[in-house]
Amino acid sequence: MSLEGLRCLVTGAGGFLGRRIVRQLLEEGREGDGPAEVRALDKAVGLEAREGGDIRDVATLQTAVQGISLVIHTACIIDILGHVDKRTLWDVNVRGTQLLLESCLRNNVSYFIYTSSIEVTGPNCRGDPIYDGDEDTAYESTQGFLYAETKREAEKSVLEMDGLPLKDGSSFVTCALRSMYLYGEGSIFLQGHLDESLQNNRTFLRISRSQALVNPAYVGNVAWAHIQAAKAMRDPEKVKRIRGRFYFVSDDTPHVSYSDLNYELTKELGFSVEPKLPMPLTIFYWYAMLLETVSFLLRPFVRYVPSVNRCLLTLLNTPFSFSYRKAQRDFGYVPRYKWEEAKQLTSQWIEKVIPLRTAYLKNKTN
């Protein structure tokens, strides 16, 4: 099946993943069997864009989804340190998703793909590991950080609305794609780590143990999974398998720790990574708890957000990897980019931004 004739809306289209999804949708169009329209609920160039669209504004959503057949919902606030207040994070990630779903039902939108996250699964507060898990892997998810809670609740809303009736007599089709940690050209997180390393003689700070293996995914492959899922929704046989379900989306990137991924992407550019954590992990947890306590005590007077917390340390130091076998089986997902190509493209981007980041950091310190 193809996307020919579909009218698509991508929320968060100016974001790291959203931009790649829009690009791939447009590529499908140039090949002759792509969507009839690609609409962006974000600031964008070269598209019919809804400038500054707020996912919490009902009027904006109503206008954005009129005439649309497929919504790919990537818009959210990613906050793992606590910079964003709880109400804003919940309003955007959860309530915004629910308002968008309601607008889709009112406007007869047929298909809805939600960009979920690995954090919906875990790791839990105990740091119980998973090696090469899948959608059927049993895992006790305990209370985690707020971002994970908002993504979990939003995903639940999306999947529960699958099968609801539409005005044309058909039913609403939804699914969720749980992405691994994303890397690639334009990654804000990767750029932040790069800045730290440039200030540390091109040496990355080690924030995760080498044995804490995860399977990051290249942004181009996760975008491609969205395209493949959208095509499957139009296939009478495949749609029966995928509707109302979630899927893990990974690729063939080697299983490494988060810190070692930074090194793998930059070692040919002369970068290194520190061999050990700055302190034993147990002490590191106590240190993080101390910072959290200080933050709590200062809250009535000043907003202090620690650079590390216990949830983040657990996330970074728990082996946690998942297979994409079910996505491959149910809707034909196969990574579009092999590891070597993804690595090369990312490294080339890093090489280009090094002079810019160096100059920025130099001006910042002067």
Q: Are residues 300 and 289 in contact, defined by beta-carbon separation less than 8 angstroms?
A: no
Cα separation, 84 vs 135, in Å, equals 30
Give kind and range of the element (H or E) at residue 124: none
| Torsion sign, CA atoms 306, 309, 312, 317 | positive
As given in the structure block, the two tokens for residue 3 are 């996307």
151 is catalytic: yes
Whether 346 contacts 193, CB under 8 Å: no
Tokens at residue 233, please? Answer: 């929704």
Count, residues in the chain = 366
Beta bridge partners of 228: none
Give residue 348's Cα distance to chain centre. Answer: 22
| Amino acid letter, residue 16 | F
> What phi and psi values does residue 140 have, to the nearest 5 degrees?
-90, 105
For residue 255, count other CB atoms closer than 10 A to its CB: 16
Residue 66 burial (CB < 10 Å; 0-12/13-18/19+)?
middle
Closest CA to 17 of 150, 155, 179, 156: 179
Helix and strand tally (H, E) in the chain? 13, 13
Residues 6+ apart with CB under 8 A from 118: 178, 179, 180, 181, 248, 320, 322
Dist. CA 299–CA 276, nearest whole Å: 33
The encoded tokens of residue 313 equal 């340390």
- The catalytic residue among 43, 86, 151, 326 is 151
Is 78 strand, coil or helix? coil
Helices 219-233, 16-30: inter-axial angle, 10-degree rounding: 60
Active site residues: 151
